[in-house]
């Protein structure tokens, strides 16, 4: 299994739609996970951290299933400004190691 | 809100030339990182730095690369003899705690090797 695997996308959705992205990871020792957002030719910016079974922040909900090594990101009532690439990022399992990035899922929200 | 800054934003160089990319991490952060992203590909880890030494590096970070913290604020990445395949966006990041904690990214330097 690849270290971090994401839906390839692109996802093209209308404004107001609900959209979900999936991510699977191979390092069972990882304890926390991140969703970053990356706009075209810009730096990744932290969207959400996931430390337990899930996290919710406004329209965004992240869920974690450790048994299946699976993370999801749900965006409700999508806005035009949500158009970006969403990166699933898995840290190392301990104090050593480095962030492993997925290839990202591109979202395009249309009016 | 404190942020990571990087200079220059763009760098064009000839193959074989040396380049130095500069970063100013967030002031109270202790861990610093360099990543690269080739156009259309995923973000790849290069190196992490803590307590004035490299703590981890990837296979990409070969002898052509080096990092330095020359003073209390700057963190640099040097590529000694650039190759065409070094063309990429280079991101600096920093974190307050170790690599498993939230890392904050700078805006990147776009390097083009001709």
Mark out chain A residues that contact chain B at CB-CB < 8 A. Answer: 30-32, 34, 41-46, 49, 87, 91-104
Neighbours of B68 (CB within 10 A): 13
d(CA B44, CA B21): 17
Q: Per mean pLDDT, which range of B7-11, B47-51, B95-99 is the poorest?
A: B95-99
User: Helix, strand, or coil here: A103?
Assistant: coil
Contact A46 B56 (CB under 8 A): no
3-state SS, residue B100: coil
Distance from CA of A68 to the nearest CA of B (A): 20
Chosen from A35, A36, A99 to mutate, greatest number of chain B CBs within 10 A: A99
Mean pLDDT of chain A: 90
Minimum distance, in Å, between the CA of residue B105 and any CA atom of chain A: 6
Q: Which residues of B touch A104 (CB under 8 A)?
A: 42
Q: Do B107 and A43 touch (CB under 8 A)?
A: yes
Beta-strand runs (E) in A1-111: 4-6, 11-14, 19-25, 33-38, 44-50, 54-57, 60-65, 70-75, 84-90, 100-101, 105-110
The whole-angstrom distance between A32's CA and the closest CA on chain B is 7
A99 vs A75, A104, B30, CA distance in Å? 24, 14, 16
B110 touching chain A per CB within 8 A: yes
The β-bridge relationship of strands B10-13 and B109-113 is parallel
Full pLDDT tens readout for chain A, 111 residues: 568 999 878 999 999 999 999 999 987 778 889 999 999 989 999 999 888 778 899 999 999 998 889 999 999 999 999 999 999 999 876 656 788 999 999 999 999
């Amino acid at each position: 299994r690849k270290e971090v695997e994401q839906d390839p996308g692109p996802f093209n959705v209308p404004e107001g739609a609900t959209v979900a992205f999936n991510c699977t990871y191979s390092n069972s020792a990882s304890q926390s996970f991140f969703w970053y957002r990356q706009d075209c030719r810009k730096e990744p910016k932290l969207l959400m951290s996931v430390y337990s079974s899930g996290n919710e922040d406004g329209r965004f909900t992240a869920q974690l299933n450790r048994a299946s090594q699976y993370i999801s990101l749900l965006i409700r009532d999508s806005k035009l400004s949500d158009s970006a690439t969403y990166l699933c990022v898995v840290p190392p399992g301990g104090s050593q190691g480095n962030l492993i990035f997925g290839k990202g899922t591109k979202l395009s929200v249309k009016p | 809100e404190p942020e990571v800054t990087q200079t220059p934003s763009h760098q064009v160089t000839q193959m074989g030339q040396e380049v130095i990319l500069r970063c100013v991490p967030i002031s109270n952060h202790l861990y610093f990182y360099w990543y690269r992203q080739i156009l259309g590909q995923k973000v790849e880890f290069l190196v992490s730095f803590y307590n004035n030494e490299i703590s981890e590096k990837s296979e990409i970070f070969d002898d052509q690369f080096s990092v330095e913290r020359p003073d209390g604020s700057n963190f640099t990445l040097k590529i000694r003899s650039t190759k065409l395949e070094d063309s990429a966006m280079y991101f600096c990041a920093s974190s307050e705690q170790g690599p498993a904690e939230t890392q904050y990214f700078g805006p990147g330097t776009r390097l083009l090797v001709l």
